[in-house]
Chains A and B, each alone.
Chain A
Amino acid sequence: MSEDHDHDHSHDHDHAHDHAHDHGTPHPLAPEDNSPPGRYELMIMAIRDLMIEKNLITAEQVRKGFETLDSWQPARGAQIVARAWTDPAYKARLLADGNEAIADFGINMGGAKLTVVENTESVQNVIVCTLCSCYPRAVLGLPPDWYRSKAYRARVVVEPRAVVKELGLEIPDDVAIRVHDSLADLRYLVIPRRPAGTEGWNEAQLAAIVTRDCMVGVANPQVA
């Protein structure tokens, strides 16, 4: 891992990394991982060690890199959604150019392009990456295990209604499901519908009900 952590994972990394999963190699940081390292994991470790040996990076920079990645939490996305709910002009900017709009919060997508899609009374958007696990890390942090699972990736494009129902979300027949397969240089963020009962709430109150899964589209915000 390089010292430049402002970007979402590069595609090369994301894909090479996740292809390793496809061949049965667990995530190098997974706590339950007691198996011997796989080919890509060994390559990553070897490159890291060589770069440290050649004084191109330091072990501390590598550690800080993971610390930075782990510091990216879904709360970053929630504040963006809350602003979009309360400020129509901001929402218009967000839908037109996600990268430009999230710069208001000091968030930088790096090389990827943030594409924001909005749920309406007739459309529910759902995000997946069938190829690996492309995810808008800069705004949502690291993807949940279910998002990376082969079952979700394979099934949600074929039977999205069944998959979201298993996750507790029943989509009425008159609402279209729009699945977005994130395979290239775009990353997706869903603006869920603002629920009734939140009139007059401020951005912080609103952000509190915008959970991670709402921004992937497999859940909708709830008012307690």
Chain B
Amino acid sequence: MTKPLSAGDRVRIAAVNPPGHRRTPFYIRGKIGVIERACGEFANPEELGHGFDGMPKKRLYRVRFKQTDLWQNYRGGPGDTVDVDVYEHWLQPLPAQSSGQGERA
């Protein structure tokens, strides 16, 4: 298991495209978000989906993305966000940012 992350930590979603049953949507791959909360550990559904036992368990997080970081020409306010449930093995921790983004959530 990876080192636990906390609310406010900045992360980048892995920009990879592995085959198989994957739970991380394409629209956030490679994008930067902020951990909104840690949700505990769950059997890995990407393994369960292929008939394996899902062990070892994976940490699950809610990651918050600014809509304007996800879509070009997003029509809506700068406060609009998407929170996505993402498993730890998709997350690349980033250094804290002083601009304040890391202080949200």
Chain A contact residues, CB within 8 Å of chain B: 11-12, 15-16, 113, 115, 122, 130-131, 157-162, 173-174, 176-186
Across the interface, do B49 and A183 meet the contact criterion of CB distance under 8 Å?
A: no
List of 7 A-B pairs having minimum Cβ-Cβ separation, nearest first: A176-B79, A184-B85, A185-B42, A179-B82, A181-B84, A177-B80, A180-B83
Name the A residues within 8 Å of B86 (CB-CB).
183-184
Given A12-B49, A15-B49, A113-B40: A176 in contact with B80 (beta carbons within 8 A): yes
Contact B45 A184 (CB under 8 A): yes
A184 adjacent to B23 (CB under 8 Å): yes
Q: Which residues 22-63 of B sit at the A interface, judged by CB distance below 8 A?
A: 23-25, 27, 39-40, 42, 45, 48-49, 60, 62
11 other A-B residue contacts (CB within 8 Å) besides A177-B77, A179-B81: A12-B45, A15-B21, A131-B25, A158-B27, A158-B71, A177-B76, A178-B80, A178-B82, A181-B84, A181-B85, A183-B24
Given A12-B48, A161-B76, check contact A178 B25 (CB 8 Å).
no
Given the interface pairs A11-B48, A113-B39, A159-B75, the reply to whether A186 lies near B80 with Cβ below 8 Å is no
Query: Would you call A184 and B27 a contact (CB within 8 A)?
Result: no
Could you list which residues of chain B lie within 8 angstroms of chain A, going by C-beta atoms?
21, 23-25, 27, 39-40, 42, 45, 48-49, 60, 62, 67, 70-71, 74-77, 79-87
Asked if B81 and A176 sit within 8 Å, CB to CB, the answer is: yes
What is the minimal beta-carbon distance from A43 to any residue of chain B, in angstroms?
Answer: 13
Tell me, rounded to whole Å, the shortest Cβ–Cβ distance linking A134 to chain B: 9
In the complex the two chains form, is B77's CB within 8 Å of A174's CB? yes
Within 8 Å by CB of B25, from A122, A183, A185, lies A183
Q: Across the interface, which residues of B come within 8 angstroms of A157, CB to CB?
A: 27, 70, 82
B75 adjacent to A183 (CB under 8 Å): no
Closest B residue to A124 by CB, please name it: B80
Pick the contact of A186 from B24, B49, B60, B76 — CB < 8 Å? Answer: B60
Q: B21: which A residues are within 8 A, CB to CB?
A: 15
Residues of A within 8 A of B76 (CB): 159-161, 177
Which residues from B are CB-within-8-Å of A115?
39, 62
Q: Which residues of A contact B77 (CB under 8 A)?
A: 173-174, 176-177
Chain A residues near B87 (CB-CB < 8 A): 184
Q: What's the Cα separation between A159 and B68 when bound, in Å?
A: 11
Contacts of A131 in B (CB 8 A): 23, 25
User: Is there contact, CB below 8 Å, between A11 and B45?
Assistant: yes
User: Once the chains are docked, how many angstroms separate the CA of A160 from the CA of B71?
Assistant: 12
A103 to B10, CA, bound (A): 34
Shortest CB-to-CB span from B33 to chain A, Å, is 12
Nearest Cβ in chain B — how far from A135, in angstroms?
A: 14
